[in-house]
Amino acid sequence: MAALPVSRPVVALTFDAGASNEGVAPILATLKREGVPATFFLTGEFVDDFPASARAMAAYGPVGNHTYHHPDLTTLSDSRVRTEIRSAASRIRTVTGHDPQPLFRFPFGAVDAHRIIVVNDECYVPFRWTVDTLGWKGTSGGQSVDTVVSRVISQARPGEIVLMHVGAHPTDHSTLDADALARVITELRARGYSFTTLASIVG
């Protein structure tokens, strides 16, 4: 699903967690302060590396399955795809106490029709996004808080799904999505938007 099937001005903020956790605390602090819901997609490796962060996100909002190792699933056999999904789900459930079903996000957004069928057979609904903030590229990749906010606002429309990340850039250590979040929320609200989770759509 690339956009929410709604006509009212509502946005889903989603955060992928697959690398580091530097942005988790400020992101959750901003969401809590603003009273804004969000959805988090966790890899099994992230849960293993940062169990406290995984539990904190799961305690705040719905969590989804982002595979265990974050591979390009279009390069894997069906059995390996299922292993990625099931092993991630097991770790997420064990560590956080929350079941990621039915929320799923393909690593890198790499997807084909066959893998969607495999994911559906595992009782998941795959969610893509309508805008990638590109905050993950970091300041060294030419991005800034201003570019993150601008990308989200310029593509705002009913049913927008925003892709953000909880990690820091591996070399410049910027956390642009976390830094821009408060402004994103303020700017969207100023345009009449409210916020929802992906779970509310499939629940």
* β strands within 151-199, DSSP E: 160-165, 194-196
Residue ranges of domains in the chain: 10-202
Q: What is the pLDDT of residues 54-64, one digit of tens each?
A: 999 999 999 99
What CA–CA distances, in Å, run from 119 to 9, 72, 166, 174?
Answer: 29, 14, 24, 33
pLDDT at 203: 63
What pLDDT was estimated at residue 5?
Answer: 85
**High-pLDDT (> 70) share of the chain, %:** 100
The answer on pLDDT for 193 being more than 90 is: yes
What long-range pairs does 32-37 form, CB within 8 A, spacing at least 24? 32/60, 34/182, 34/185, 36/185, 36/195, 37/13, 37/61, 37/195, 37/196, 37/197
Architecture of domain 10-202: Alpha-Beta Barrel (3.20)
Helix (H, G, I), strand (E, B) or coil at 130: coil
Does 2 have pLDDT greater than 90? no
Q: How far apart are CA 167 and CA 176, in angstroms?
A: 9
- Report d(CA 140, CA 187) in Å as an integer: 25
Q: What are phi and psi of 22, to 5 degrees?
A: -60, -30
pLDDT at 3: 82
Over the stretch 23-43, which tens digit does the pLDDT of each residue have? 999 999 999 999 999 999 999
Q: What is the pLDDT of residues 83-129, one digit of tens each?
A: 999 999 999 999 999 999 999 999 999 999 999 999 999 999 999 99
